[in-house]
Structure 1
C-alpha cells in the first residue's frame, strides 16, 4: 500500500464542510486501489487570523514542507479583507513550494447544462502562471489620503518563470490533442506581453508537433463563450489565467464544481489542490454546499501522485451521479444536501470500481 502524508486546510465557511466530504470519497477509492492517505488537519483560516493576527503560524511553511501534498478547502471570512487571506496563506504557499503551474480543467461533465446555447463538448485546460507576473509585491502607495496620492503596481516577468510554465503547457498539449493557445495583450501592454510572445514563439520551434495560436485576452475571453470547442490547452499569465479560469468555470455550469491544482511539477515540494469556489458564508452551516469541486480537486491530487486509475474512478463516479441520478445541490438546480451528494458518490464509486 502506498502511503501519503496529506495536510488538510479546510479553511473557512463551506470549506469545513466539503473537505470532510471529499476525504470520505478519497479514502473509499484509496481502500480499493491500495492508497493510504494520512491526513493532518491544520486550523489555519481567516477565523484563525481573527484570533491570532496571522493566517498561519510563523513556522507554517516549514510545517507544510513535511507533507507530500496539501488539500485546501476555501478561505474567506466577513471582516477579513481578501488581500489579507490571499497574501497571508495562499500566495506564500504557492511561492515557497514553487507551485508555478496553476492547472484548471474546463470540462463540461455529463448531466450538466452549460449556460451557453447549443454548446458542443467543452474539454480544455488552462495553464496559469502561478508565481509571478501581475501578482507581484513590487510597488507601493505614496501621499496616502491626499489629492496627490499615487498607487504603483509592477508586473514581474522573468525568462525562467515564463519558460517553465510554457514548457509545461507545451508538454501537456503534446499529450492531449496537440493544440496550444497563448493569452496575450501585446498591442496595449508594451513590455511584458511582447516578451511573453517572444518566449512562446521560441518554444514553438522546439515543439513542432504542437499547433500554436495567440489571442489577445479580450478576444480570447469572447471565444471562450462563442467557440469554446476550439481550445485544447491555453497558457496565460497570472492575472489573465485567473480571470479566464473563472470564466471557464462559469461556462461548464457552476463555479461550485470547478477544481484547481497548484503544481510543483518536478515534485521537489508539495503541491496544493483546491476547488475554485470561495467560502460562501451565506450558505455555510446549512448543509447545502456542493462537494464536487473539492472531490474533483482530490481526483487531480491522486493523478498527480501517479494514481491515474484511482482518479479516473472518482471522476467516473462524479459523472454517474450527475448524468444518471437527480442528486445534486442547489447551485446545479437540485435540492440535495452535501451529505446526500457524498453518499451517492460513495455508492457510485463502489459500482465504478466493481466494473473495472
Structure 2
C-alpha cells in the first residue's frame, strides 16, 4: 500500500520540522511493508509575496488528490497574519469542511514542564473547527474616523455542534468514558446555551459517557490545578484554540503539541499540523522542536489505518525523549531539530 501525502512545509520553522518528520513516517511505513509518496507544495508566505495568494484557488482540490496533508506552519513578519492564516490553513479547513480539530496532550516521561506534577497527564481537546468566532462574519465600520467600530460575529449552528459532539462522545467511549463540554453560557445568551442543549441531546445517544459542562474560565484554572481529572474536552473554535495552547504547557510547551483537522466519517483528506506556528524568531537556526510535527504525523498514520506504524513512531519518540541529550532548547537541552529527528529515526530502526 502507498500513502500519498501532500507536504506543505510553509513558513518559518515549518520546513525544518517537516524535514525532520517525513523520514520518520517513511521509515515507519516501510517497516510495515508500505510506501510513502510525497508531493511538496510551495504554499505560504513566499508564494503570497510572489503571486498574491498563499495557495492556488484550487488548493482544496489538490489536497483531495492525496490521502492526507502534513502542514508545517504559516506566518512571516513581512505579511499580515490574516492574509496567510485565512489564505491557507483556515482556508483549507473551511474549503474541505474539516469539521473537527483534534489536539491531544500527553506528558512524556523525561520531558520537563513549567507546571508541577504533570506525570500521567493524557487528555485530548476536540475543537469545532469551522464556525464560532473564526467564521469571518463582521466588518470594520467608520474606519479612519476616530470612531472605528470592529464587529466580529460568532456563528454556532446545530449541525456543526452535533458533528463535533458526536466525535467527542465516540472518542470518550474509546477512552475513559468522561467528557467535559467547555462553554460560557452564563454570560453569552445565545450561542453557548445552544451548545449546552445540543450536546446534552447528543449525550442521550451515548449513555455510557459521563458528561459535565464547565465554564471556560473555570476550566482554565482546573487545567493547571487538576489536569489528571480531565480526559476528553469538547469546545467551540475559540475556546478550543486557547485551551489547547494552555494545555500544551502541561506536556512541555508548544513544541510538544500536535493536531489534526478532520471530517469524521468521510474520505476527505485530513490536514495534520503542529500548532506552534512559524516562530520567526528562531527560524533558520535549526533549533525548533520537531516533536509536535512528528506526533501530528503519527495521528495521520492512525487515521489512515496504519496503526502499527503510528505506534512505532510514538514509542520511538517516547524512548528518545527520555534522554536529555535529545532535548531541543525549548525543553532545556541543546539538540538541534535534525538531531532529534535523526535520534527518533535511529530509535525506531533499532527497536
**1:326 aligned counterpart, secondary structure:** helix
Partner of 1:241: 240
Partner of 1:279: 278
Which range moves more in the overlay, 247-256 or 179-188? 247-256
* Structure 2: distance between partners of 1:289 and 1:114: 17
Deviation at 1:184, TM superposition (A): 0.8
C-alpha distance after superposition, 1:261-315 (max 9, x if no partner): 0011123311000001111122211121211111111000000001111111101
TM-score (norm 1): 0.96
* Structure 1: distance between partners of 2:147 and 2:17: 47
**2:136 aligned counterpart, secondary structure:** coil
* Structure 1: distance between partners of 2:165 and 2:241: 16
C-alpha distance after superposition, 1:290-343 (max 9, x if no partner): 111111110000000011111111010111011145211111111111221122
* Structure 2: distance between partners of 1:205 and 1:337: 49
Matches within 5 A, 1:181-260: 181-260=180-259
Matches within 5 A, 1:291-302: 291-302=290-301
Which range moves more in the overlay, 232-241 or 140-149? 140-149
Which range moves more in the overlay, 244-253 or 139-148? 139-148
Partner of 2:158: 159
1:68 aligns to 2:84 (yes or no): no
Partner of 1:40: 39
Q: How many residues are treated as equivalent by the alignment?
A: 351
Deviation at 1:118, TM superposition (A): 2.8
Partner of 2:311: 312
**1:181 aligned counterpart, secondary structure:** strand
Deviation at 1:197, TM superposition (A): 0.3
Matches within 5 A, 1:109-124: 109-124=108-123
**1:76 aligned counterpart, secondary structure:** coil
What RMSD in Å do the two structures reach over aligned CA positions? 1.1
**1:92 aligned counterpart, secondary structure:** helix
1:289 aligns to 2:288 (yes or no): yes
Contact 2:18–2:293 (CA under 8 A) maintained in structure 1: yes
Deviation at 1:49, TM superposition (A): 0.6
C-alpha distance after superposition, 1:139-168 (max 9, x if no partner): 111111113322211111111110000000
* Structure 1: distance between partners of 2:324 and 2:154: 47
Contact 2:107–2:118 (CA under 8 A) maintained in structure 1: no
Partner of 1:29: 28
**2:123 aligned counterpart, secondary structure:** strand
Unaligned runs of 5+ in 1: none
* Structure 2: distance between partners of 1:170 and 1:135: 24
Matches within 5 A, 1:316-327: 316-324=315-323, 326-327=325-326
* Structure 1: distance between partners of 2:145 and 2:21: 50
Partner of 1:103: 102
Partner of 2:87: 88
